């Protein structure tokens, strides 16, 4: 029996737990030494994102014999298929999800290069990541690779998007933080959105690409507050609060400046950024559109209320600890998606149980949307037709 227990479920968020040399074979050799010397790469090494078990240990018969009963219990580098490509299809079989979007862990912030001056290295790192992740996911068509596109340089962004699509990426991930010198809604980025729309794949925001909390908030006169991993550089209750701030501003800007309307077939996703903020944010945008419509031509030209544009084109993933039923009731049944965050410890051991409990009073049709239909809508051509509702899950 799989973790999904025969139900039709698509997973909008899963991860690799890469080793620290994960990009070396995919990097432009002329820039590899510069990448290794970069402050962002060195900071990742210092964080100690290394496996508790070596690749050889994952081959140990005793370790492998306990894979199935521990599929949701072993986390991070301990998890089956966390970094060994050959193991990931079996992990997905045991989870029982019809498909799974796959994101990086090691490269989530693109090593801070977007905020620097070395754009050649910034885009080389993104291209290396995209080669690495599409290669990893090529082992199984149910694994849907996400490619990263920095938005700092118009021409380079368009070229990176084009390469990612040629490599077979099923979604483009962009930062929710504002680029250094222009808005994310700038017309110079329209070729990126046009390519995604033409390919029929979504544009996604993911945690890690947001503006970070001012570290001075940590200086409260007390001892460091431990995070999920026992350190203090991951999320705590205080640093959790601003997670969606950047994506709220970026998405609102894209909607108000008409980017969603200019690309009406384009779907967008906010992944692992929570969703409790969505209902109030939708209403705040409607209020802003009403308050400023008389003076702003861009608002007069919108095809619908911002909240209606959200329901038409944006999909978001609640955290398991959030009340998904309340989010759906107050934002619309089209908006929310299931995600497991496999194999990250933050995803917990029983996300299905927690979501099912919060959806107990949600209409059955809306639950089906949450677990499958909204994901199918988000992914478009990025999800092959035969993977959308596999025959062995049709009766679920």
110, 157 Cβ separation under 8 angstroms: no
Residue 222 has a CB neighbour count (10 Å cut-off) of 7
pLDDT of residue 92: 98
Helix (H, G, I), strand (E, B) or coil at 279: helix
Over residues 348-381, the pLDDT tens digits come to: 999 999 999 999 999 999 999 999 999 999 999 9
- Return the sign of the alpha-carbon dihedral for residues 166, 167, 168, 171: negative
- Residue 233 pLDDT more than 70? no
Please, which pLDDT band fits residue 396 given cuts at 50, 70 and 90?
very low
The average confidence (pLDDT) of the chain is 94
Please give the Cα distance from 65 to 372 (Å, whole number). Answer: 31
Q: What CATH class does 10-390 carry?
A: alpha beta
CA-based radius of gyration for the chain = 20
With cut-offs at 50, 70 and 90, classify the pLDDT of residue 212.
confident
Question: What's the predicted TM-score (pTM) here?
Answer: 0.95
pLDDT band at 392 (very low <50, low <70, confident <90, very high): confident
Q: What is the pLDDT of residue 49?
A: 52
From CA 59, how far away is CA 61, in angstroms rounded? 6
Structure confidence by residue, pLDDT tens digits, 137-195: 999 999 999 999 999 999 999 999 999 999 999 999 999 999 999 999 999 999 999 99
pLDDT of amino acid 213: 80
Q: Is the pLDDT of residue 16 over 70?
A: yes
pLDDT(132) > 50: yes
pLDDT at residue 394 in the model = 67
Name which of 50-54, 145-149, 268-272, 389-393 the model is least confident about. Answer: 50-54
Q: Tell me the domain boundaries of the chain.
A: 10-390
The pLDDT of residue 48 is 63
Residue 316 has pLDDT above 90, yes or no: yes
pLDDT of residue 239: 84
pLDDT band at 219; cut points 50, 70, 90: confident
- Average pLDDT, stretch 69-78? 94
Q: What is the mean pLDDT of residues 120-137?
A: 98
Q: CA angle at residue 43 from 38 to 347, to 5 degrees?
A: 130
Report H helices in 66-178. Answer: 88-95, 119-137, 154-167
Whether the per-residue pLDDT at 257 is higher than 90: the answer is yes
d(CA 147, CA 145): 7
177-183 CB contacts, 8 Å cutoff, 24+ apart: 177/114, 177/115, 177/209, 177/210, 177/211, 177/246, 177/250, 178/211, 178/246, 178/249, 178/250, 179/114, 179/151, 179/152, 180/114, 180/115, 180/152, 181/152, 183/253, 183/257
Whether 161 and 196 have beta carbons less than 8 Å apart is answered as: yes
- The answer to whether residue 28 scores a pLDDT higher than 90 is yes
Task: Identify the pLDDT of residue 36.
Answer: 97
pLDDT at 234 over 70: no
Looking at the predicted structure, is the pLDDT value of residue 53 above 60?
Answer: no
Q: What CA–CA distance (Å, rounded) separates 254 from 285?
A: 12
d(CA 337, CA 329): 14
Question: Could you tell me the pLDDT band of residue 217, with boundaries at 50, 70 and 90?
Answer: confident
**Residue 231 confidence (pLDDT) above 90:** no
Q: Is the pLDDT of residue 17 over 90?
A: yes
């Amino acid at each position: 029996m799989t973790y999904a227990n025969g139900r039709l479920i698509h997973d909008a968020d899963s991860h690799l737990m890469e080793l620290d040399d994960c990009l070396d074979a995919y990097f432009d050799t002329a820039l590899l030494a510069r990448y290794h010397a970069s402050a962002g790469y060195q900071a990742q090494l210092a964080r100690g994102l290394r496996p508790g078990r070596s690749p050889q240990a994952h081959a140990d018969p005793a370790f492998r014999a306990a894979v199935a009963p521990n599929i949701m219990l072993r986390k991070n580098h301990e998890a089956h298929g966390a970094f060994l490509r050959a193991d990931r299809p079996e992990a997905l079989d045991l989870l029982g999800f019809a498909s799974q979007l796959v994101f990086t862990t090691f490269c989530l912030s693109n090593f801070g290069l977007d905020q620097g001056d070395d754009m050649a290295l910034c885009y080389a790192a993104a291209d290396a990541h995209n080669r690495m992740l599409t290669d990893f996911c090529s082992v199984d068509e149910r694994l849907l690779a996400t490619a990263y596109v920095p938005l700092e340089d118009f021409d380079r962004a368009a070229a990176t998007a084009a390469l990612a699509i040629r490599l077979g990426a099923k979604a483009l991930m962009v930062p929710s933080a504002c680029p250094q010198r222009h808005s994310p809604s700038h017309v110079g980025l329209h070729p990126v959105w046009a390519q995604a729309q033409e390919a029929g794949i979504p544009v996604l925001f993911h945690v890690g690409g947001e503006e970070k909390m001012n570290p001075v908030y940590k200086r409260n006169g007390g001892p460091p507050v431990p995070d999920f991993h026992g350190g203090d550089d991951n999320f705590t209750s205080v640093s959790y609060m601003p997670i969606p701030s950047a994506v709220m501003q970026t998405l609102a800007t894209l909607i108000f400046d008409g980017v969603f309307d200019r690309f009406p077939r384009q779907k967008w996703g906010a992944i692992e950024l929570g969703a409790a903020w969505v209902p109030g944010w939708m209403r705040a945008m409607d209020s802003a559109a009403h308050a400023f419509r008389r003076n702003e031509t861009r608002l007069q030209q919108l095809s619908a209320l911002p909240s209606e544009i959200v329901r038409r084109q944006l999909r978001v993933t609640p955290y398991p600890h959030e009340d998904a039923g309340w989010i759906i009731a107050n934002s619309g049944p089209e908006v929310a998606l299931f995600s497991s965050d496999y194999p990250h410890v933050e995803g917990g051991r029983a996300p299905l149980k927690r979501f099912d409990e919060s959806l107990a009073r949600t209409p059955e049709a809306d639950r089906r949307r949450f677990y499958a239909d909204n994901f199918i809508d988000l992914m478009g051509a990025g999800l092959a037709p035969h993977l959308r509702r596999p025959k062995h899950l049709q009766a679920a």
